[in-house]
Structure 1
Amino acid sequence: MIFVILCQDKPGHLQVRMDTRPEHVAHLEKLNAAGTLKFAGPFLDDEGKPCGSMVAVEAEDSAAAEAIAKADPYALAGLFESVEIRPWNWVFNKPENA
């Protein structure tokens, strides 16, 4: 099942995001190589600066998705003000159907 991890950065923590970005990208690359990552990217504020993240992963259940979210270097660095994990059904433009 696909789970979407929705993360909101703490206000004033852009530098934490930038400092941790190389480790975060390496983490996502590892998930991608394992076939776990479906898609990911940052949310942007009105000035075009990153202010949160959306990461979609394939996981057996919500506990497995939560473990993936907690292992993210951004989460480990204390970047996020909130994290929500929701199951998601990919209906339109699913790559396997293209």
Structure 2
Amino acid sequence: MALFVVYCKDKPGALETRMATRPTHLDYLNGAGLVKAAGPLLDDAGSPIGSMLIVEAEDRAAAQTFVDNDPYTLAGLFESVEIQGWRVGVGSIG
């Protein structure tokens, strides 16, 4: 298993889509068993403008499949998504 950082930026003006899809998105993340940490990216006012996840998956293709099936992705929330391999340098991921 490998760790990946998933960095997603929302489309401008998509807050309504984010909020409407949030319960299904959270159920998906909590049920997948792959997410080590996750949370929204925030603007200076504290409003969500994207998401960042640390995912443990078999490989990059598995991480991509996980992201492709996220309700936020399926709802068209994201303007961009980056998946990058990652490893813990300081601290720990439980």
TM-score, structure 1 as length reference: 0.91
Quote the offset at 1:37 in angstroms.
1.0
Structure 1 residue identity aligned to 2:24: E
Structure 1 residues 61-76: aligned runs within 5 Å = 61-76=59-74
Q: Which of 78, 81, 84 is the matching residue for 2:82? A: 84
RMSD: 1.0
For this pair of structures, how many residues does the alignment match? Answer: 93
Quote the offset at 1:95 in angstroms.
4.3
**Could you tell me which residue of structure 2 aligns to residue 27 of structure 1?**
28
Does the Cα contact within 8 Å between 2:36 and 2:93 map onto a contact in 1? no
| 5+ long unaligned stretches in structure 2 | none
**Could you tell me which residue of structure 2 aligns to residue 10 of structure 1?**
11
* Separation in 2, partners of 1:3, 1:66: 10
* Separation in 2, partners of 1:52, 1:86: 16
* Separation in 2, partners of 1:46, 1:3: 26
In structure 2, relative to structure 1, the CA distance for the partners of 1:95 and 1:81 (3 Å cut) is closer
Q: Which of structure 1's runs of 4+ aligned residues deviate more than 4 A?
A: none
Of 87-96 and 66-75, the range deviating more from structure 2: 87-96
Query: What percent identity do the matched residue pairs reach?
Result: 53
| 5+ long unaligned stretches in structure 1 | none
**Could you tell me which residue of structure 1 aligns to residue 55 of structure 2?**
57
* Separation in 2, partners of 1:61, 1:86: 11
* Separation in 1, partners of 2:17, 2:49: 11
